[in-house]
Structures are given as C-alpha cells and as structure tokens.
Chain A
Amino acid sequence: MNGAGKILTDSGVITWRNVMNVRRNPEWLLGATLFPIMFVLMFAYVFGGAIGGPGGDSGQYREFLIAGIFAQTVAFNSSYTVIGFANDLQKGIIDRFRSLPMSRLAVILGRTTADQVLSLVVLFVMSICGLLIGWRIRGSVLDAILGYLMILLFAFALSWVGAYIGLVSRSVEVANSAGLIWMFPLTFISSAFVPQESLPGVLGTIADWNPFTAAVNATRDLFGNASPAGWAAPSGWPADNAALYAVLSSVAIIAIFAPLATARYRKVASR
C-alpha cells in the first residue's frame, strides 16, 4: 500500500477505535452536551437581559449568542483530544501503536477526526436546543452548512493543539487542566458573548485578531444572525474578512501543530 493510502486507512481504523470508545461510554456525550446547554440557558436568560441592553430585546441577543456558543462548545471539545492522548499514554496504548508498522500521523489524525464526530453529535443536540429558545437560520441552507463546516474546521484545528498538549503532558491530571485552561481566554476574549466593540483597549485588539472571533463572526454571518439592534458593528480587516481569516488561521494552526504533535509522538514515552 502506498504512503498516503496507508495514512488514510490507518486513520480510519483509529477513528473507528475512538468512536467505539465514545459509544461504549455514552455518559461522555452527556457531559459534552449538558455543559453547553447549561451555558446557552445561562447566557440567554441570566445575562441576556443585561447584555442585550436596557430593555433590550433578549430574543435578539439569544439569536446572536448561538453561533458563539456553538463555536465555544466544539472548541472545548479539543480538551477531549488532550485527555484522550494522556489516557492512551498512561495505559501504554501509545507504546503498542508505536511498535506497529503503522503511519505515525494516523494515530493523531484518527483522534482529531474522531473528536469531530463527537462535535457533530454535540452540534446537533445544541441546534435543537437553539431552535427551542428561538434561534433560527435566516440564510440559505448552503450558507448554514458552510456555517457548521466553519466551526468544525476551527475545532479540528484546535484539536491538533490539543493533541500536542496531550502528548507533552506528564500525567492525565496535568492534561486535564492544561487542556481546559487556555480555552477560557480564547473563547471569552472574543465576540462570542458580548459586543466586540465593547471590549476595552488591549482586550479589544486581542478580540479583533482572535481567530475564534473570526470563526464566530463568519458563522453568525452564514447563519444570517444579526447583532442586537444598536450594537456598534466591528471594523478592521479581520472583521471585514472574517471567513477568510478564520479559514487561514485554522490552516495555519494545523500547519504548525500537526508537525509538532507528530514529532512529539515519535519520541514520547509512556508513563
């Protein structure tokens, strides 16, 4: 079998293995969906009135919110990638894989792909939740599909970062927190939950250039969801070219972290 073919079949096999792992532990899915549903309800009903503006239309805010929550949820799924690798390392499964004549890249690609299968399931549940609180897709079906693909691509990119973190973590405990901690600034210093223009000074600049902001803005746009009336529209190159910027940064993240993670995998020792 040629090299590329072997990478794809091996990745497929590893993806199957990881998806089977989730199927045998449905409670993981429960955790992965309950958390974001909780988030939707919190933001929509607890903060919604305040952020939506005085007497603001919290229905509009909820519609604005959904793309941000979707993106945040799948971004957080990269922590499953981290924990997955940390566990496989601890259990000696990575040693077994490394002693096989299989593609090195496939072990990581199979994991990052399987984690997007998880993301798909979660997105489905969340879409239903969104529809229940009044969110609607206002654009075309094609645009909506592109919107979903946008966040999946971004989540896939983050998953490679997660793979690297998982492979450098010294223990499952370390991996647990290392996989989550960076998610908070990444997803909160952004346009996911608040008016982008409301963020002060440096935070505003970070939010403007945060690839996560771009992914959220692009998705929001593709869903045809507007910001609540009266919010200042963000400006600047990343805001004007959100989709392009989001895709470029996703590709860049993969281009950086795929080689890093693969190089780490080659050397990593179990335990």
Chain B
Amino acid sequence: MSESDRGMGGQSGVAVRARGLVKSYGSTRALDGVDLEIPTGQVLGLLGPNGAGKTTTVRILTTLLRPDEGEAEVAGHDVLADPDGVRRSIGLSGQYAAVDENLTGFENLYLVGRLYGKRKAEARERARELLRRFQLDEAGDRPAKGYSGGMRRRLDLAGALVAEPSVVVLDEPTTGLDPRGRIDMWEVIEQLVATGATVLLTTQYLEEADRLADSIVVIDKGKVIARGTADELKAQIGGERLNLVVAEQEQIPAAVRVLESVGTSEATVDEHSRRVEVLVDTGPKALVEALRLLDAERVTVQDVGLHRPTLDDVFLALTGHGAEEEVPAS
C-alpha cells in the first residue's frame, strides 16, 4: 500500500466504527455496549482508568478477540466477516511491547515486513527507513534485549507502521516511559498523524489525550461515560474555576461569601493554604467583580487565578473517582 491509498476508509469518511460492543469474562462485563467512531485521518483518544476496557476494545478492533455482541468495521472491513481485510489495513502496537528480544531491531522490523508479504529487499529497505525515523539506527543491529523501555516502545510502534497502515492502533503507548521518553513518543505520534493515518490511542493520561487526540471517548467499567473534544468535555462540567488565596485565615469567610455571590457553585475551601475556589460561567467579568467586592470588604488577596478545568476535573466529575485512583468496590 502506498501513502496515497490512505484515507480509503469506509464510506462517508469513517475509518473505524464500532457499535454496541459487549464482552464478558465470566461474570466481569469488560465491555458493556461501547460505541465509537473515528473519522478518517483523525485521532481518537480512548481514555479510562485501569480495567476500564481499553485493551478489550483494542483487541476486538484488531481482530484478536471476538465480541459477544455488537459489530465493528475498520477501514471498511468487518472485523468478524473479513478479519484478514482488517489485518491488512491496520498496525497494532499493543499494551506490552511485542519485541523479539533475541532479534536485533532491524531483524524485528524485517520479520514483520516479510510477514506482511513484502519481498526481502523491500522489507530490508523499509526496516532501515523506520529505524532512522525512530532514531534507532545506531542501535538497529544490536539485539533488542539491550534496549531501554523507550527504545522497545519505539521499535514496537515502528513494527506497527511497517506496511503503512491506514489505521494505527496504539494501546497505552507511553505507559511506563519516563517523562523524556513520553515526550519523544508524543512527537513520534504527532509525526504519524501528520502523514494522514487514522489513530486509535488508549491512555490513562488525560494530558496525553488532550495533547494528541481530536476527540476523546471516556470509558469506565466497560461503558462510555462521555465523549467529545477536550474542550467540550471541559465545558461539560461547566465554566471555569476562579480561585484565590487570602492573606489571613480570618478573611476566609468573607472570601467565601463574595465568591459564592459571583460563582455558580458552592465554594471549596482549603484552610491550610487559605485557598478558596468556585465555578464561574462569566469568566473575566466574574473575576473583576469578585476583586471589586473583596476590596470593598478589605480582604487582602495574595494570589488569584482563573483556569479552565483539566480533564482530571472532568473525570472526577463524571465518575466520582479520580482517573488514577482505585475504583471503589461497588
């Protein structure tokens, strides 16, 4: 397949479409009716905590697992009726880097190229090209045994791209990487997106979805609990947060009174840092109004800020538990 074949997803420019996916393991409902859709050339971030069902979704879409119910189509091929068609169009980088440690980086990529049906010379050339692109050319002829976690991850991702797939599926590509490795990986993924591939990316990091994804699907316990762009999700919990730090403990009650008069929610207070926070929907206007009232009450403000909610706030609001916290037993 050449670069120009990209974007030949199904009709109406949808590269990945899943409807009503259900999968149970014994009494665990790993997926409980998941729907998702990725327009061709876009990046979808599938966001969820441990055990949410991200890998199960990925495994179904990449033909590794049959759903109990529901249907899915990838690059115009039905995952159940035409799994080989799906396999020809996708590249998968699983949650745990599937690297043969006894082979060199080059040999790993050559192996995958040959299995995609490339001729020897072609597979060799492609392997070298990918090693260069992923900054592995120096290590390329050493056994992968000696690679760092980040290098393995990059090699695994390179393996997913050997056949220039139109749909790339990345299951937690940065989990376990150090901050430097994570930023490198983000850059690699951004380059990939620039070539026009459709990407399904799972992550536990809200920051990552925010940075890389065009749209986000949040799943928890096998169900989709929210979807939209990062901005839409942030808007879902309503407006912005206005917070300020007062100089003296005694001024906190006054600050609370003022903030609640301009805000839309009850104020939250952190006594220790003397921080008071409230949700507002009029942004800077509310800020100016609050400062005027506080001045009138002779409250000394040490620090003040207006910020949009983070995706962590969204998660907390949607699930009642933080994204990285243990799910409380229900």
Contact = CB atoms under 8 A, between A and B. Distances in A.
Interface in B80-123: 84, 87-88, 90, 92, 94-103, 107, 111-112, 114-117
B98 A92 contact: yes
A269 to B, nearest CB: 7
Contact of A98 (B64, B97, B107): B64
A269 B64 contact: yes
A13 B98 contact: no
Nearest to B85: A101
A17 B100 contact: yes
B92 A91 contact: no
Nearest to A25: B102
A271 to B, nearest CB: 8
A121 interface: no
B288 interface: no
Interface in A11-27: 13-14, 17, 20-21, 24-25
Nearest to A94: B98
A236 to B, nearest CB: 47
B310 interface: no
B101 to A, nearest CB: 8
B153 to A, nearest CB: 12
B111 A99 contact: no
B100 A1 contact: no
B94 A95 contact: yes
Contact of B96 (A1, A14, A92, A97): A92
A93 B103 CA distance: 12
Interface residues of A, number: 25
Interface string A88-124: 0001110111111110000000000000000000000
B96 A13 contact: no
Given A25-B102, A92-B97, A99 B117 contact: no
A252 B53 CA distance: 42
B159 interface: yes
A138 interface: no
Contacts of A21: 100, 102-103
B65 interface: yes
B115 A97 contact: yes
Interface residues of B, number: 29
A63 interface: no
B175 interface: no
Which interface residue of A9, A17, A91 has the most chain B CB atoms within 10 A? A17
B98 A101 contact: no
Interface string A1-42: 100001001100110010011001100000000000000000
Contacts of B62: 99
A99 B102 contact: no
B50 interface: no
Which interface residue of B59, B97, B99, B100 has the most chain A CB atoms within 10 A? B100
Given A24-B102, A93-B100, A101 B84 contact: yes
Given A10-B115, A101-B117, A17 B98 contact: no
Contact of B103 (A20, A100, A102): A20
A98 B116 contact: no
A98 B115 contact: no
A96 B94 contact: yes
A96 B117 contact: no
Given A13-B111, A21-B103, A98 B63 contact: yes
Interface string A149-169: 000000000000000000000
B87 A96 contact: no
B196 interface: no
Nearest to B169: A99
Contact of B90 (A14, A92, A99): A99
A194 B227 CA distance: 72
Nearest to B123: A13
Contacts of A97: 115
Contacts of A101: 84, 87-88, 116-117
A96 B112 contact: yes
Contacts of A17: 100, 103, 107, 111
Nearest to A99: B92
B214 to A, nearest CB: 24
B64 A99 contact: yes
A6 B114 CA distance: 11
Interface string B189-217: 00000000000000000000000000000
Nearest to B25: A269
A7 to B, nearest CB: 12
B96 A24 contact: no
B97 A20 contact: no
Given A20-B107, A99-B90, A91 B116 contact: no
Nearest to A268: B64
A101 to B, nearest CB: 4
Interface of A: 1, 6, 9-10, 13-14, 17, 20-21, 24-25, 91-93, 95-102, 269-271
16 contacts: A17-B100, A20-B102, A20-B103, A21-B102, A25-B102, A91-B99, A92-B96, A93-B98, A95-B92, A96-B98, A100-B112, A102-B115, A102-B116, A269-B64, A269-B65, A270-B94
The 8 closest A-B pairs by CB, nearest first: A96-B98, A92-B98, A101-B87, A99-B92, A24-B102, A101-B88, A102-B115, A13-B114
Given A96-B98, A102-B117, 13 more contacts: A1-B117, A13-B111, A17-B103, A17-B111, A24-B143, A92-B94, A92-B95, A93-B100, A95-B92, A95-B94, A96-B112, A99-B87, A271-B96
